[in-house]
Amino acid sequence: MIPLSDYPLTKRVTLTGFRVLSMATGNYTMEYEWSTKSFDNNMMAINRQISPQIMPDLDHVRRLGEMTDEWFDWMKKGMYLTDSMKYATLMDYPKSHSDWPHHKQLRYEENILSAFYDPSFKDLVGPFVAMVKSGEVYRTENFRFDSNGCLLGRSDRPRLICAPNVKGQGLLQAI
């Protein structure tokens, strides 16, 4: 892990949006977002995620584990979700998306069923894909780039998000 203070301040950006004239400074403000395709940005996002030197209370982690174990046991028995949910069972989740094509609904239903009934399904090991969040727009008046096209001198950083991969998309999104 690279300490944030030692990490290069050069990161790739994608220009988005408008050039807006600032009434306060008289300079143009440019909108940008961190490039999701840059290896450096992905490494910086992972570093940002694992750098904090904090740790959850171990008693809370233990109690959370007990609660989720009970919840999954309850779901496996075919119990129903609470009335506050949009759908009664996990299998209703894909059907609740009327805007999805039929083949996508079927793919999600198959994924949910395989998690509970397919003996080769491996407990959702590695079900997420990590990536830099896209669509998060920042603004600056100072667009200074190095020779590689990386933005210099910015304190904001790319943010890591995790999305379910194909193996976990049905069950994890329904939950």
State percent of the chain over pLDDT 90. Answer: 6
Residue 62 lies in a domain: no
Residue 16 lies in a domain: yes
Q: Is the pLDDT of residue 81 over 60?
A: no
pLDDT at 34 over 80: yes
Domain presence at residue 134: yes
Domain contains 15: yes
Q: How many domains is the chain partitioned into structurally?
A: 1
Is residue 167 one of the residues assigned to a domain? Answer: yes
Cα–Cα distance, 105 to 98 (Å, whole number): 9
Residue 114 placed within a domain: yes
For 17, the domain range is 4-54+83-174
Q: Is there a domain that residue 145 lies in?
A: yes
Chain segment 86-119, per-residue pLDDT in tens: 566 788 888 888 899 999 999 888 888 887 787 7
Kindly provide the b/e burial profile for residues 65-82, where b requires at least 16 CB atoms within 10 angstroms of the residue's own CB: eeeeeeeeeebeeeeebe
Task: Establish if 60 belongs to a structural domain.
Answer: no
